[in-house]
Amino acid sequence: MSLNISVCDIMQDIVTEITKKGKMIKARPGTPLAFIQASTFVPEMGDINTPELYGEHLRIMEEFNRDKGDRISSHTDAINASVDAAIPGIRNQLHVYRNIVNPTIKDLLEKIDYDLQNISNKPVSNMEIVEWNLPIPYYNEKLEDLSYRYSSHGTVEVTLKEIAEIPSSTELYELMYTGIATLDESIKSWLSTIPDDYITTVWADIFTKTGSMMKLMVNKDQGHAYALIAYLLAEKLVTHEPLDCFKTTRAVFVSHLSAIRDFAGKFVYQYIQKNKKSIEEQNLILNISNNTTTVHAVVYDAWLEAGGTPEILLGNMLNKQRVMYGQLLMNNAQDLTNKWNSYYAMQKQQLGNMQVSNIRYSIEKNFNTQMNEARQKIRNNEKIDIPSIEECDNIEKLFKQEINSYGGFTLENLPSVVTKLVCRSRFYKTDAEIFLSKLNKIMNDNPDLPPFEASTIATIEYIVEWSLTQTELK
């Protein structure tokens, strides 16, 4: 902080208020500040309200100015001597903070973080609502028109054969497009949401392996996507010359690809019609399994707009008799919401209690590990900041007292709590807590500040605070 008019005004206000109370700020006897003050002298002058007093004032000031060189030299010598005496001690303290205290705290926090790495991401409840929807192209009318041609195709099983190798990704993606602008836009949009190698995986299952195509088409998780991809690929391939990757005759190629196209096309059309019916009938819940409710995304959005809430569905999962229809859920909305809110509050409290317990246990365990490591170094005559086994025992006693004084351990306040615990026990003979607390605050308030600058500011604030300890109010 620079000395400017504003600072002087504030200082003047403080002095005025203290003077009104008949008190003064003085240097504590025997401190470096007292030594500097003793070498400083300015003559006190009363009110100048007569010619005689004015003349006396001039005489005193002339005498004062005549010897100012000696006084300034004496004052400067006092400051230099005080600085020379203080700097080594401050420098040593800062060395301890940066090279011993801070690494000790960092090591402890890393050990604790390893123990607690799963706590921060643990949800209050493992119940969830999963939205299901068909791939985007299923909602395009052009796909329905194309697949309608195969709606009356029989359900005779198609036995897949190993008739091709895997082509390049570029060739695969080109095969997915139909030449119909609006449909291709839907296909492009959907392809951007799936893994890059997904089309390759489907191709491999259909053209490079033997097996049942029916099994792929009716798979509850992947059947819709497999049917769509198989249909689009076969629809394009059957009207083209075989790619170089195919290992079969033209006749076998056309026959087999036609069967795949017809079979997949039928399933695509059936899925479109089944989906339309679900939306028309507002079939909200598709399945409830253990702690997961799967809902139809389109119906779910409409249900939410009509006043439904996730809490209703979550409360429904807590019932033994689970409701599957949206309107029945709305009829019991308040009871289901209350049931969920009560359950959530109880679970949150239990999780919070467990988190506090786990954090405290980890802090104590890892601090004790550090102290046992220190004891071993003392026994081996290795370099360590603790002088004796007895001092280790004393530090652990102080640590126990400090940790017992804390009630709420959270992941958010963990760094500051650990800093205080370590500084007040292992480094209780230093001002480490003061310096590191200032440093942490500066860095938190100014996240873009380089560490060196933050450390410099903390050092200045620490020296200012050290200087203030040399004053007293009398």
Look over the chain and give the mean of its residue pLDDT values, rounded to a whole number.
83
Coil vs helix vs strand at 429: coil
Band (461; pLDDT cuts 50, 70, 90): confident
pLDDT of residue 443: 83
Average pLDDT estimate for 195-220 = 93
Q: What is the token pair recorded at 468?
A: 């203030």
Which of 268-282, 308-322, 434-448 is predicted with the least confidence, judged by mean pLDDT? 434-448
| Sign of the dihedral through C-alpha 322, 327, 330, 331 | negative
Q: Beta partners for 164? A: 246
Q: What is the token pair recorded at 352?
A: 């919070």
pLDDT of residue 40: 57
CB atoms within 10 A of CB 164: 21
Contacts of 102 (CB under 8 A, 6+ apart): 436
pLDDT of residue 177: 93
Instruction: Considering only residues 9 and 175, tell me which one the structure prediction assigns the higher pLDDT.
Output: 175
Instruction: Considering only residues 382 and 39, tell me which one the structure prediction assigns the higher pLDDT.
Output: 382
pLDDT, tens digit (0-9, with 9 covering 90-100), for 228-251:
999 999 999 988 777 888 888 888
29 phi, psi to nearest 5 deg: -55, 140
Average pLDDT estimate for 442-453 = 85
pLDDT of residue 36: 59
Contacts of 296 (CB under 8 A, 6+ apart): 131, 132, 133, 278, 279, 283, 284, 286
pLDDT, tens digit (0-9, with 9 covering 90-100), for 378-402:
999 999 999 999 999 999 999 999 9
pLDDT of residue 1: 44
Q: What percent of the chain has pLDDT over 90?
A: 47
Band (304; pLDDT cuts 50, 70, 90): very high
**C-alpha angle 382/437/116, rounded to 5°?**
70
Average pLDDT estimate for 13-19 = 77
Cα separation values, 103 from 106, 108, 111, 257, 434, Å: 5, 9, 12, 68, 16
Report the alpha-carbon distance of residue 229 to residue 222 in Å, rounded.
Answer: 11
Residue 52 scores a pLDDT above 70:
no
Highest mean pLDDT out of 97-101, 350-354, 406-410? 97-101
Ramachandran class of 414: left when φ > 0, alpha when ψ lies in -120 to 50, beta otherwise: alpha
> Checking DSSP bridges between strand 159-160 and strand 128-132, what pairing results, if any?
unpaired
Band (50; pLDDT cuts 50, 70, 90): low
pLDDT, tens digit (0-9, with 9 covering 90-100), for 108-163:
999 988 888 766 567 788 899 999 999 999 999 999 999 999 998 876 789 998 88
What are the structural domain ranges in the chain? 5-84, 97-121+357-473, 138-280, 287-347
Residue 335 scores a pLDDT above 80:
yes
Q: Are 132 and 289 in contact (CB under 8 A)?
A: no
